[in-house]
């Protein structure tokens, strides 16, 4: 089977590598020069649905798999559907589960899916009035409705901070168009986990669990980022919780989407908080997580392409996917300045040593460019160093052993990725 993976980050590198490991032939577009070391890459404006379709036709691929949310929000899946070409990813209408927090909240309310109590506000006056009533309690969470690259969420400890957040989003345009509407949410307390399924309308199959580390600094300090590292599987999920998540969250959401005329096909990413009352939805994403894909996919012990192809064809799907039983840990190496103004252009040293000396490690590339045949830093999250081992402790040690061999000026990373897994697993 020949596949086109659309995207340019470490998640797409992991997707492409996993599909190839399962025996598929893969091209990635637009990819990046790091991905190009493993799979063929082609240039592409992935936000242009007609260009994506033209590339899939020109390359004669059997299936196109979309990595990031932006091409889905732009309607790439709708375009393929109209042309009768197979694609794995949701339509623009189904992608609203991620692209509009208000849509997701309303859908969950209609279908009884547990989530934080929330108020959707279309103007600053409504939001200020809601804050004055204070019915959601304090702290309160202020979220830009639209896509804001993981930066549109402010946890406000009190009314003054919440009003400032509303002003930033709705009056000062701090999140651009994404902040024209805000969602005010009750603040949930508990550990977070990511639950993934491959969905095809009402059919679905579980596709791994992970725990992300969203803050920049050790100990969950510093600003929110796209994700500084992750491990898989989550230490929080046992069979009973898995069953509950599928019964209370996955199934009603997929049924609801289908019943309302926007059946969801693609990776459904459920961002959950494990509260005292049980699992509650923090957010949905219409794609795999990044860096979660980098740690979930290497544990898959069967070919992925046939499952995605079946989903793209409307299902049905196997009852379960086989996973190896190992653990995986991924440490993100970020550019200096990330998540603010980036310090780019610096040479990345040590990659050859990792390749030669760290057999249990894969480096997945994101913000890299090529200069004189060598890789240099070109984006915020530069690469994810991923290791796999039977136990978290070994996987953590192997990942950091590789990290120590890699250097670029300004390099930032957390030194505590996976520590939460160790704390939870007692000998
Ligand atoms: P989101 O972009 O919706 O994933 O939010 C980013 C982060 O903000 C989440 O990973 C949570 O840590 C936090 N967060 C979002 N919503 C809530 C909430 N209702 N209660 C507590 N924390 C939240
Ligand atoms: N790791 C968070 C995300 O992919 O949105």
**pLDDT tens per residue across all 427 residues of the chain:** 999 999 999 999 999 999 999 999 999 999 999 999 999 999 999 999 999 999 999 999 999 999 999 999 999 999 999 999 999 999 999 999 999 988 999 999 999 999 999 998 999 899 999 999 989 999 999 988 877 666 678 899 999 999 999 998 888 877 877 777 898 999 999 999 999 999 999 999 999 999 999 999 999 999 889 999 999 999 999 999 999 999 999 999 999 999 999 999 999 999 999 999 999 999 999 999 999 999 999 999 999 999 999 999 998 999 999 999 999 999 999 999 999 999 999 999 999 999 999 999 999 999 999 999 999 999 999 999 999 999 999 999 999 999 999 999 999 999 999 999 998 864 3
The strand pairing partners of 281, in sequence order, are 115, 272
Residue 22 near ligand 2, beta carbon < 6 Å:
no
Which ligand 1 atom is at minimum distance from the Cα of 143?
A: 3
Beta strands in 276-314 (DSSP E): 278-285
Classify residue 304: in a domain, yes or no: yes
Domain boundary among 140, 160, 186: 186
CATH classification at residue 233: 3.30.470.20
Mutate which of 103, 114, 155, 285 to test ligand 1's pocket (most atoms within 8 Å of Cβ)? 155
Same domain (yes/no): 270, 354: no
Residue 144 C-alpha to ligand 2 middle, in angstroms? 16
Query: Which ligand does the CA of 211 lie closest to?
Result: 2
Following CA atoms 46, 48, 50, 56 in sequence, which dihedral angle do they give, to the nearest 10 degrees? 0
Enumerate residues lining ligand 1, CB below 6 A: 116, 141, 150, 153, 155, 185, 187-188, 192, 214, 271, 282-283
Residue with CA closest to ligand 2 atom 3: 289
Nearest-atom number in ligand 1 for the CA of 118 is 19
Q: Do the Cβ atoms of 203 and 223 come closer than 8 Å?
A: no
Spatial distance between the Cα atoms of 280 and 114, rounded to a whole number of angstroms: 5
**Is 67's C-beta closer than 6 angstroms to any atom of ligand 2?**
no
- pTM here is 0.95
Q: Is the separation of the CB atoms in 366 and 381 below 8 Å?
A: yes
- Assess if residue 106 is contained within a domain: no
Sign (positive or negative) of CA dihedral 194, 196, 201, 202: negative
Question: How many domains does the chain contain in total?
Answer: 4
Task: Write down the pLDDT at residue 427.
Answer: 38
Contact call for residues 199 and 249 (beta carbons, < 8 A) = no
Report which ligand 2 atom has the smallest distance to the Cα of 11: 4
* 158/201 same-domain check: no
- CA-nearest residue for atom 2, ligand 1, is 150
- Considering the domain boundaries, does residue 399 fall inside one? yes
The ligand 2 atom nearest the CA atom of 212? 1
CATH number for the domain including 139? 3.30.1490.20
CA–centroid distance, 348 to ligand 1, in Å, is: 33
Measured from the CB, is residue 285 less than 6 Å from ligand 2? yes
Residues 273, 213 share a domain: yes
Same domain, 159 and 71: no
Same structural domain, 73 and 21 = yes
Ligand 2 centroid – CA 246 distance (Å): 20
For residue 107, being part of any structural domain is answered with no
Expressed as residue numbers, the domain containing 266 is 192-312
Strands 182-186 and 203-212: unpaired
What do you get for the CA distance between the two ends of the chain, in Å? 43
Closest-CA residue, ligand 1 atom 5, reads 153
The C-alpha atoms of residue 404 and residue 350 are separated, in whole angstroms, by 9
**Helix axis angle, 159-166 relative to 124-133, nearest 10°?**
170
Between the CA of 9 and the centroid of ligand 1 the distance, in Å, is 23
Q: For position 28, which CATH number holds? A: 3.40.50.20
Look at residue 174 and tell me if it is in a domain. Answer: yes
Q: Give residue 411 CA to ligand 1 midpoint distance, Å.
A: 26
Q: Kind of pairing, strands 2-7 and 63-66?
A: parallel
Domain shared by 220 and 301, yes or no: yes
Same domain for 308 and 208?
yes
* Rounded distance from Cα 282 to ligand 1 centre (Å): 6
Q: What is the atom index within ligand 1 of the atom nearest the CA of 186?
A: 19
160 burial level (CB within 10 Å; 0-12, 13-18, 19+):
exposed
Q: 96: CA distance to ligand 2 center in Å?
A: 16
Judge whether 159 lies within some domain. yes
Last residue of a domain, one of 71, 89, 107: 89
- Using an 8 Å Cβ cutoff, are 292 and 182 in contact? no
203 in the same domain as 161? no
Whether residues 222 and 244 share a domain: the answer is yes
Cβ–ligand 2 contact at 185 (below 6 Å) = no
Answer whether residue 27 is part of any domain.
Answer: yes
Q: What angle do CA 92, 95, 101 make, to 5 degrees?
A: 125
Q: How many CA atoms lie within 13 A of 3 on its CB side?
A: 31
How confident is the model at residue 151, as a pLDDT? 64
Q: Is the peptide bond before 139 cis (omega within 30 degrees of 0)?
A: yes
Is 321 within a domain?
no
Is residue 147 located within the same domain as residue 175? yes
Q: What is the helix, strand, coil percentage profile of the chain, to 5?
A: 35, 30, 35
Q: How far apart are the CA of 22 and the centre of ligand 1, in A?
A: 35
């Amino acid at each position: 089977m020949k596949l086109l993976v659309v995207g340019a980050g470490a998640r797409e590198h992991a997707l492409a590598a996993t599909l190839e490991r399962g025996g598929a032939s893969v091209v990635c577009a637009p990819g990046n020069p790091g991905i190009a070391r493993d799979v063929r890459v082609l240039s592409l404006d992935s936000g242009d649905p007609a260009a994506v379709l033209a590339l899939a036709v020109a390359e004669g691929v059997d299936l196109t798999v979309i990595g990031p949310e932006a091409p889905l929000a732009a309607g790439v899946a709708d375009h393929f559907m109209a042309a009768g070409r197979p694609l794995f990813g949701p339509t623009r209408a189904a992608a609203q589960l991620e692209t509009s927090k208000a849509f997701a909240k309303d859908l969950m309310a209609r279908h009884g899916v547990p989530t934080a109590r929330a108020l959707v506000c279309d103007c600053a006056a409504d939001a200020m009035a809601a804050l004055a009533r204070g019915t959601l309690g304090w702290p309160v969470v202020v979220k830009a409705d639209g896509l804001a690259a993981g930066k549109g969420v402010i946890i406000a400890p009190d009314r003054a901070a919440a009003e400032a957040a509303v002003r930033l989003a709705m009056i000062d345009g701090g999140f651009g168009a994404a902040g024209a509407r805000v969602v005010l949410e009750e603040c949930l307390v508990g550990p977070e986990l990511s639950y993934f399924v491959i969905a095809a309308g009402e059919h679905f199959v579980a596709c791994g669990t992970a725990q992300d580390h969203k803050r920049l600094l050790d100990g969950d300090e510093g600003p929110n980022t796209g994700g500084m590292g992750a491990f898989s599987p989550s230490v929080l999920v046992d069979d009973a919780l898995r069953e509950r998540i599928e019964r209370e969250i996955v199934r009603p959401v997929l049924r609801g989407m289908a019943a309302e005329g926007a059946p969801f096909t693609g990776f459904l990413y459920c961002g959950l908080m494990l509260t005292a009352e049980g699992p509650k939805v923090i957010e949905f994403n219409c794609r795999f997580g990044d860096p979660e894909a980098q740690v979930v996919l290497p544990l898959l012990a069967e070919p992925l392409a046939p499952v995605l192809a079946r989903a793209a064809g409307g299902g049905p799907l196997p009852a379960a996917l086989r996973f190896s039983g190992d653990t995986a840990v991924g440490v993100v190496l970020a550019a200096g300045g990330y998540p603010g103004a980036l310090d780019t252009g610096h040479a990345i040293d040590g990659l050859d040593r990792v390749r030669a000396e760290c057999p249990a490690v894969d480096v997945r590339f994101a913000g890299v460019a090529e200069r004189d045949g060598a890789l240099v830093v070109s984006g915020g999250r530069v690469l994810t160093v991923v290791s796999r081992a039977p136990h978290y402790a070994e996987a953590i040690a192997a990942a950091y052993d590789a990290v120590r061999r890699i250097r670029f000026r300004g390099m930032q990373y957390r030194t505590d990725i996976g520590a939460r897994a160790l704390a939870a697993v007692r000998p």
